[in-house]
Amino acid sequence: MGRWLSFFVVIVIGAVIGLLAGWFLAPGQYLDTSPDTLRVDYQADYVLMVAEAFQNDDNLLLAIERLSFLSESKPQELVRQALLFAEPRYADADLALMRTLSLALQLSEAEAQP
């Protein structure tokens, strides 16, 4: 019984020291980070959320504004990159939403060109 008790006491003491060191001695600080620092999977999730919102409100200008928050790249390029990542991973319904947004952006871009 004494060996088990000392084992758990050492584990608890190590965990407490680790938490205190992480919180007080060397806490992580993230200042002025931008959305383009997100991992590609989170960026694809964000594009999917914009596509879902676009399906609900059918406001392409608002979708473009939301996509511009993610990166300075063209909205169509952001959606294309998200689709490339999402193809083997996302559900067909989600992919359809992203493709609908992509098509709307392509049509908008084609209309804007003389």
The string of pLDDT tens digits covering residues 15-45 is 999 999 988 888 877 777 778 888 999 999 9
Domain that includes residue 8, residue range: 1-31
Q: Is 88 helix (H, G, I), strand (E, B) or coil?
A: coil
In this structure, the answer to whether residues 64 and 106 fall within a common structural domain is: yes
Give pLDDT, residue 114.
64
Cα(29)–Cα(2) distance, integer angstroms: 41
In this structure, the answer to whether residues 16 and 48 fall within a common structural domain is: no
Give pLDDT, residue 12.
96
Cα(102)–Cα(83) distance, integer angstroms: 9
Taking residues 103-112, what's their average pLDDT? 87
Q: Which residue has the higher pLDDT, 110 or 53?
A: 53
pLDDT tens per residue across span 81-92: 999 999 999 999
In this structure, the answer to whether residues 4 and 19 fall within a common structural domain is: yes
**Burial group, residue 111, by CB count within 10 angstroms (0-12, 13-18, 19+):** exposed
Residue 109, both tokens: 């871009």
Phi, psi at 44, each rounded to 5°: -65, -40
